[in-house]
Amino acid sequence: MTAGDGGNGVTAFRREKFVERGGPSGGNGGRGGDVWLEASESYNTLLHLRYNPEHKAGRGRHGEGSNRFGKDGEDVIVQVPVGTEVFDGETGSLIVDLTESGQRCLVAEGGRGGFGNSHFKSSTNQAPRYHQDGGEGEYAELQLELKLIADVGLLGFPNAGKSTLISVISAAKPKIADYPFTTLEPNLGVVSVDDYKTFVVADIPGLIEGASEGAGLGDRFLRHVERTKLLLHLVDVSSISGRDPVEDYEAINRELANYDKELSERPQIVVATKIDALDDPERLERLKERASKDRRQFLEISSVSRLGTRELVYTVSKRLDEISAKTVEEDEN
């Protein structure tokens, strides 16, 4: 990102036919344009910046005689998705977190305009023969990182039923197939509770043991659940996966704790999935007991047959209301 340079001032004197004692009349240069980042709901990825990574604002025009000031350079506003974090490209330090639509951040300031010689006129220097050059615009090398903003994050091993669930309770159409890692990027879905109430769900790509250290799809996607208020932990209780549901549940929670202890303590609802294919009720009971031990709410669903999905939507909505009320109360105190 490069801001515009400021325009130079100019040295000039008035030489008009009917004006006595013409004096200095050099105008100031215009200031260079700024570069801004603006959060916009028009974008949901940073792909548009991948092929156009450089942005430069307009430079200020030079001053002219007869005290004419140079025109300011045009600002450049680069729009990014809501939820974009902006880091200094050299130090890696966080500059700003753009979490609201319309929020702006000045990332490169334009150079100042130089003064013309008329600016330097005084009682002791009535005919200055010098001016000031404009300043250089700032240059900024930035690193942008997008973290989705959603009310609810879906967690679980690959093929735990996350994509199927979000396709059932919202209008999102993620890829669904019978093999691991069908979800390669997060998906957002808006869930309607009634005519006036909705919440946003993020379908996070499946995690495996070691994800917090980069295994599988790694921690590239764990960051997307950092902003969620509530976690839905989906666990496949059927025997199709060949895994133990309690071990899966414990493994994912270990990865959350390794990545961010606060994230592991976030409100979480444990959801047993694929109960239509349940062939061993003991698997379901052991998971239910483990969730109860952790004092976590437990639900049973089948996204394919839509068994329990509507109850899940209302339960999540009620839980979000409780979390919001608690947050307001804490802020007031």
301-315 b/e with 16+ CB inside 10 Å = b? bbbeeeebbeebbeb
Fold of 35-146: Spo0b-associated Gtp-binding Protein; Chain: A, (2.70.210)
- pLDDT tier for residue 197 given thresholds of 50, 70 and 90: confident
Among 86-100, 141-155, 174-188, the least confident range: 174-188
3-state secondary structure of 84: strand
- Of the candidate CATH numbers 3.10.129.10, 2.40.30.110, 3.40.50.300, 1.10.730.10, the domain formed by 152-332 belongs to 3.40.50.300
Among residues 67, 69, 55, 66, the alpha carbon closest in space to that of 7 is found at: 69
Domains of the chain by residue range: 35-146, 152-332
Among 147-151, 162-166, 188-192, the least confident range: 147-151
- 271-328 residue pLDDT tens: 999 999 888 899 999 999 999 999 999 999 998 899 999 999 999 999 999 988 887 7
68-101 b/e with 16+ CB inside 10 Å = b? bbbbbbebbebebbbbbbbeeeeeeeebbbbeee
Q: Distance between CA 320 and CA 333 in Å, rounded?
A: 20
161 DSSP 8-state letter: S
